[in-house]
Structure 1
Amino acid sequence: MERWQNKLAIVTGASGGIGAACAKALVGAGLRVVALARREQKLKELRESLPSNLQANLIPRKCDVSKEDQVIDAIDWTEKQLGGASVLLNNAGITRETELVTPGNTQKIREVIDTNVMGVLWFTREVFNRIKARGDEGHILIINSIAGHQVLNFIDVLPSFNIYPSTKFAITAMTETYRQEFQLHKANVKITGICPGAVNTNIFPEEIHFFVKDMARLKPEDIADAVLYALRTPSNVQIHEITVKPVGEIF
């Protein structure tokens, strides 16, 4: 991790779960972290949970990743005030309780698409172009899901995941497209997708928690370990995708 010491990372969805664990791990590994989320108070609590000598290295900032203007504003602020990010962790993701066939669910579906897909697109676009303009080395990571490779069987097992798997399938395709585009632009920027299985977080509504409460699940810190592993690789090595499952997972 030597080359990332004192470099700046951006973590979206950092107010809890995987995002909070990754933000803490990155600070512990010697990076400065701009932690973004809608719940600014949770970000401040995250900073206060760090050892006192590391708290200044976590910078909380409110941002709704589903709003393009807020994404661009956050990146512009980071560039002007902190010198720009070398690492981006696209972590923010949501689900909504509905079915694809449920009448009147357009707003719920759009919220998931705008957060899970468009937020990744906007952040990656803005951060990549700024890294390229500076001529720096960079690494962009995306928290995907095993649901980006298979539509989990919910018939008689789980409630419908509706549009969520579609957004994650999109991320799988985008990750490969980014790899090709970064190469086309001859940029010194890596791309890594991380596909967790079941993780003990609050991303899913209570209706789904009832079904998964006894299921084998990973800890958010397990995903943070995968993020650090990808970042530790030598400059000539690109981990394109990591799949992490708990032992005994049923999927």
Structure 2
Amino acid sequence: KVVGLARRIDKIEALSKTLTEESGKLYAIKCDITREDDVIKYFTWIVNNIGPIHVLINNAYLMKPANLTSKTNLNAMRQNCTYKCYIISDGSSEDWRRVFEVNVIALSTCTREAVKIMNEHGIAGHIVHMNSVHGHFVPGGNDNNLNVYPASKFAVTALAESLRQELRVAKSKIKITSISPGFIRMDLD
């Protein structure tokens, strides 16, 4: 049994329809993981209706491209980009806040709730953070308009290591993995 939580469940529902010949079931649940009350509500629902969580895959992410530079080089920056450039004047602190809300805070909330459930049920579970190569380095070049995205992914790298150490000290059997793929084609929001 697999549960997919998402803001837009249409993709999970479509995937579920392609798996009818497979054993098991994919449950699609509409959930805004940036809302702590939604996460708690649906994790509780999962435990009560499907069973305790054994594996959590934190796969949600958000990237709002913009450069962290002054307005003085706007035209030069736009001319040097090979694809649409977003610069600081095009972005907002609200966009940056939202990136951290999805990539760091929501991931932490889901992780906390999964660890609680695993501990309460004596499950030697596994938590997987889908990170990014940008959680380890920030690329250079004319097309670097990632701004706070790498910072949020560096935070995911640090959170995974912090949790690994916390679980080790607690002598927990829960495992933590951070997977950092390179460039992949995905929706940016």
TM-score of the superposed pair, with normalisation by structure 1: 0.64
Aligned pairs (5 A) from 1:181-220: 181-203=166-188
Q: Is the contact between residue 56 and residue 128 of structure 2 (CA under 8 Å) also seen in structure 1?
A: yes
Among candidates 35, 48, 51, match of residue 67 of structure 1:
35
Q: Give the match for residue 156 of structure 2.
A: 171
1:134, 1:61 → 2: CA distance?
23
Q: Give the match for residue 93 of structure 1.
A: 61
Aligned pairs (5 A) from 1:1-251: 32-54=1-23, 57-101=25-69, 102=88, 105-153=92-140, 155-156=141-142, 158-203=143-188
Cα deviation digits, residues 112-161 of structure 1 (max 9, x gap): 100000111000000001101111110001011110110111x42x1410
Higher relative contact order (CA 8 A, sep 6+): 2
Q: Is the contact between residue 132 and residue 188 of structure 1 (CA under 8 Å) also seen in structure 2?
A: no
2:187, 2:110 → 1: CA distance?
23
| One-letter amino acid of the counterpart of residue 59, structure 1 | Y
Q: Percent identity?
A: 36
Query: 1:114 aligns to what SS in structure 2?
Result: helix
1:80, 1:184 → 2: CA distance?
30
Cα deviation digits, residues 193-233 of structure 1 (max 9, x gap): 101011132338xxxxxxxxxxxxxxxxxxxxxxxxxxxxx
Q: Is the contact between residue 140 and residue 191 of structure 1 (CA under 8 Å) also seen in structure 2?
A: yes
Q: Is the contact between residue 56 and residue 111 of structure 2 (CA under 8 Å) also seen in structure 1?
A: yes
Larger Rg: 2
Query: 2:185 aligns to what SS in structure 1?
Result: coil
2:161, 2:180 → 1: CA distance?
14
1:41, 1:149 → 2: CA distance?
32
How far 1:100 moved relative to its partner? 3.3
Q: Aligned Cα RMSD in Å? A: 1.6
Query: 1:130 aligns to what SS in structure 2?
Result: helix
| One-letter amino acid of the counterpart of residue 122, structure 1 | T
Query: 1:196 aligns to what SS in structure 2?
Result: coil
| Matched length | 170
How far 1:53 moved relative to its partner? 4.3
Q: Is the contact between residue 34 and residue 58 of structure 1 (CA under 8 Å) also seen in structure 2?
A: yes
